[in-house]
Structure 1
Amino acid sequence: MDTLARLKAGQLAGSTRLTLNCGLTEFPREIFDLADTLQILDLTGNRLSSLPEDLGRLEHLQILFCSFNDFTEVPACVGDCRQLSMVGFKANRISHLPAAALPPLLRWLILTDNCLEQLPEELGQCTRMQKMMLSGNRLTALPNLAAMEHLELLRLSANRLEQLPEWIYRLPRLAWLAYAGNPLREEFCTPHAPGKVPTIDWSDLQLHRQLGEGASGVIQQGLWRSRGLEVAVKLYKGSMTSDGSPLNEMAACIAAGEHANLIKVEGQVGGHPQGSHGLVMDLIDPSYLNLASAPSFTSCTRDVYADDLRLSAPVLKRMAAGMASVAAQLHGHGINHGDLYAHNILWHENGDCLFGDFGAACFYPRDGSLAAQAVERIEVRAYGLLLGEWLERCDQPLEPLWALQRDCVQAQVLARPVFAEVVQRLAAAL
């Protein structure tokens, strides 16, 4: 018996989580039978265009997913769910977000890949907000969100913004910022030091097993025939992700250049029969593992590490130095990675690490402007948070590194060090 049938038969009493993905065109009223316990409701992948006006009866609901449906606006009744903190309406046809739809405890909002041209001014009153994903809309301006002192992750890629408001550069906790694919001035759209890689014809590649799949593309092991070299081939899906456009990701990967702590790009794919874009990269030794998992519903903006992970002082220092060095190179090229997280790091138990996933990357000017000063220091905060997570998992105190960590995460954005200074301080401490 499927989930909907079990729901209608009263067999799901006491459930805290419900997922219905079965072509729904109307909200099943039987969901209200779970009102005393339901915390997570996932209605992704149906054909819904409305929700019942009495949705607030789900008084314990904390997470609501309605992505990949047919909504043209976020229903106002969503705001009546007083405990709701996470709302996802990705990939609908939403052109209106009414102020009434904003629940009071909202901290995670996903409106990626819709048709929004403006946002309500009341959004700035959602001062608990930590994570907001607005990529792939039609926004030409943003309301004043300067009061969002808890906002840590902001995705604005692929909109119609001609400038970024200055309050972005002063948000005290912002650490992960993406805005590629907007009609900003040229310095925000092109790399400071463009990289060059050869074009590798599709006929020269032989694909083998799939190695992984992410939001932006599929990675397969392959053979570069003319070189006799085993490689990894990433083919981009060409669709919008929560971070932005896969084509922006590819451009940033190429512009990043070579570094011992970056996964090397051998070339870009040419001549694909369906016109797909792709990159050919070094094949990583399987002894390298993901350092952490992406944030969970509970952690929101923080990665999830294995409970038993401990880092020795030598390993921690090696990783800290490697990541600071690669970040310094990226920002020297005017590249903001936008997703400086442990879940984007492959590591070896000896402390070697490789950084990847440029899905949120964007370019910025290196001209002494406020943007030039602040964008790097926003990412320095992300580095500081990462360093703190590692120090918490080390049995040695390492006070000089803790002092650096505190400087990197301080609330005054422009008082933080730049990555070149981080590299120097690490060298002195190590």
Structure 2
Amino acid sequence: MNTLAQLKAGQLAGITRLDLSCGLTEFPREIFELADSLEILNLTGNALSSLPDDLHRLAHLRVLFCSDNAFTELPECLGQCAKLSMIGFKANQISHVPAAALPPQLRWLILTDNRISQLPSELGERPLLQKLMLAGNQLTDLPQSLANCKNLELIRIASNRLTQLPDWLLTLPSLTWLAYAGNPVEMAVEVVADDVTPNIPWSQLSLGEVLGEGASGVIRKALWKPQALPVAVKLYKGTITSDGSPLHEMQACIAAGLHPNLIKVAGRVVGHPDDQAALVMDLIDPSYRNLAALPSLASCTRDVYAPNTRFSVEVALRMARGIASVAAHLHRHGITHGDLYGHNILWSAAGDCLLGDFGAASFHATADTLETRALQRIEVRAFGVLLGELLERIETEFNDDVLVDLQKRCCQADVLARPGFEEVEALLQSLPHH
């Protein structure tokens, strides 16, 4: 984090990234002295409600973060910034998004947790648009023009007011990760209640160290005292995340039921002193690790793999089979995961893997309708992307026409022409086990 004092003293000349969070109520004009070099400007966590009209003087500006501020509209000056491609205004009080605020190079737009009820149709005239984060607003529909966004891969529209999913949304050729939970259209779905999940009193748990923390909550090691059993406890936050509602995530976790490639839910916690929602889950063996890291600013929608990540054919195939199997299982239960990605997969050296993080999961009808089929085939594209990433990292010279063809079929532009997970799983099982 940089300081205002450093900026004013001219000590930051030549920097490409500036992070300022110090209660700013207005944009410091000294930032313009960095115009020759500044590419990333992060003003998250201030009290700003406007930006200067001449913001375009920051000619190299590519990324702008202004989350957790006091904006009530997306500033029009953004539209004049020639290189600006990534905009983040999460958790403001924005109710108005003017067409003029959308820069020509727009690739990644984050407007999560605002008060937006309408978006301009000009949003569909941004051909590079790839990632659109709109969870936690008041949208009743989406601009029809978004049907033109052939590169749009990730859409988060959870916790809005949509009573239906538009037809064009289900035919977008590149759409891969979709989260729409907590809208009337999704809440109308009959979720088969899983009454076998036991209640576990808070008093029976003794909490230990933090194992991990995500947008939706904290995971801690714990001892389940009556069984003297080490477990993991996920304590959910109540706030809106970029994917949607953490409590909805918990519901999806329970509804997913049992599968060898899912982390087993032992029970839901009752009697927490602050009424916090929590689940008790199996403790995962420490030999498991994340398959990939989250996408970067540069990769946008693609996971980042460690440069030395390599698999044998056997391990890659075993992971592909496991993920196809668990995805088929979820779809049979009327659940799309919404975030089928390497960074949400834990794997072991033997190729055993577990799919986690149900933050973007949504419920759909289990009947075989065109809508259900399209929603499931959107997720098949995510599997196709993942399969491609696995195949690229096989350590030996590898050329298997069947797998390469499967990967292409999963990612083809015609959504309904993609295979379903039942077919994908059957094909992978039929291949010789190395």
| Range with greater deviation from structure 2 (287-296 or 191-200) | 191-200
Question: Residue 84 of structure 2 aligns with which residue?
Answer: 84
Question: Residue 61 of structure 1 aligns with which residue?
Answer: 61
Alpha-carbon distance in structure 1 between the residues aligned to 2:45 and 2:6? 19
Q: CA deviation at 1:121?
A: 1.0
Question: Residue 290 of structure 1 aligns with which residue?
Answer: 290
Alpha-carbon distance in structure 1 between the residues aligned to 2:419 and 2:55? 47
Deviation digits for residues 188-244 of structure 1 (CA, Å, limit 9, x no counterpart): 4x4357463111111111100000100000000001111211100000011100000
Question: Residue 71 of structure 2 aligns with which residue?
Answer: 71
TM-score (norm 2): 0.97
Alpha-carbon distance in structure 1 between the residues aligned to 2:227 and 2:24? 51
Retained in 2: the 8 A contact 1:192–1:366?
Answer: no
Question: Residue 170 of structure 1 aligns with which residue?
Answer: 171
Q: CA deviation at 1:126?
A: 1.4
TM-score (norm 1): 0.98
Q: CA deviation at 1:428?
A: 1.6
Can you give the 5+ residue segments of structure 2 that lack an aligned partner in the other structure?
Answer: none
Letter in 1 for 2:169: I
Q: CA deviation at 1:366?
A: 2.3
Retained in 2: the 8 A contact 1:235–1:278?
Answer: yes
SS in 1 for 2:242: coil
Question: Residue 419 of structure 2 aligns with which residue?
Answer: 417
Q: CA deviation at 1:400?
A: 1.3
Matched, 1:426 2:421: no
Retained in 2: the 8 A contact 1:153–1:176?
Answer: yes
Alpha-carbon distance in structure 2 between the residues aligned to 1:116 and 1:110? 12
Aligned-residue sequence identity (percent) comes to 63
Alpha-carbon distance in structure 1 between the residues aligned to 2:248 and 2:185? 14
Alpha-carbon distance in structure 2 between the residues aligned to 1:45 and 1:66? 7
RMSD across aligned positions (CA): 1.2
Question: Residue 132 of structure 1 aligns with which residue?
Answer: 132
SS in 1 for 2:148: coil
Alpha-carbon distance in structure 2 between the residues aligned to 1:166 and 1:230? 47
Alpha-carbon distance in structure 2 between the residues aligned to 1:368 and 1:307? 41
Letter in 2 for 1:398: D
Retained in 1: the 8 A contact 2:186–2:364?
Answer: no
Letter in 2 for 1:265: V
Alpha-carbon distance in structure 1 between the residues aligned to 2:342 and 2:392? 14
Alpha-carbon distance in structure 1 between the residues aligned to 2:195 and 2:346? 23
Alpha-carbon distance in structure 2 between the residues aligned to 1:415 and 1:372? 14
Letter in 1 for 2:328: A
Q: 1:389 and 1:20, CA in 2 relative to 1: closer, same or farther beyond 3 A?
A: same
Question: Residue 251 of structure 2 aligns with which residue?
Answer: 251
SS in 1 for 2:207: strand
Retained in 2: the 8 A contact 1:193–1:334?
Answer: no
Alpha-carbon distance in structure 1 between the residues aligned to 2:126 and 2:87? 13
Matched, 1:234 2:234: yes
Retained in 1: the 8 A contact 2:69–2:91?
Answer: yes
Q: How many pairs are equivalent?
A: 429
Alpha-carbon distance in structure 2 between the residues aligned to 1:285 and 1:391? 26
Q: CA deviation at 1:398?
A: 2.5
Q: CA deviation at 1:399?
A: 2.3
Deviation digits for residues 45-86 of structure 1 (CA, Å, limit 9, x no counterpart): 000000001001111100000000000001000111110000
SS in 2 for 1:184: helix
Letter in 1 for 2:388: G
Retained in 2: the 8 A contact 1:231–1:283?
Answer: yes
Can you give the 5+ residue segments of structure 1 that lack an aligned partner in the other structure?
Answer: none
386, 390, 402: which one aligns with 2:404 = 402
Q: 1:199 and 1:240, CA in 2 relative to 1: closer, same or farther beyond 3 A?
A: same
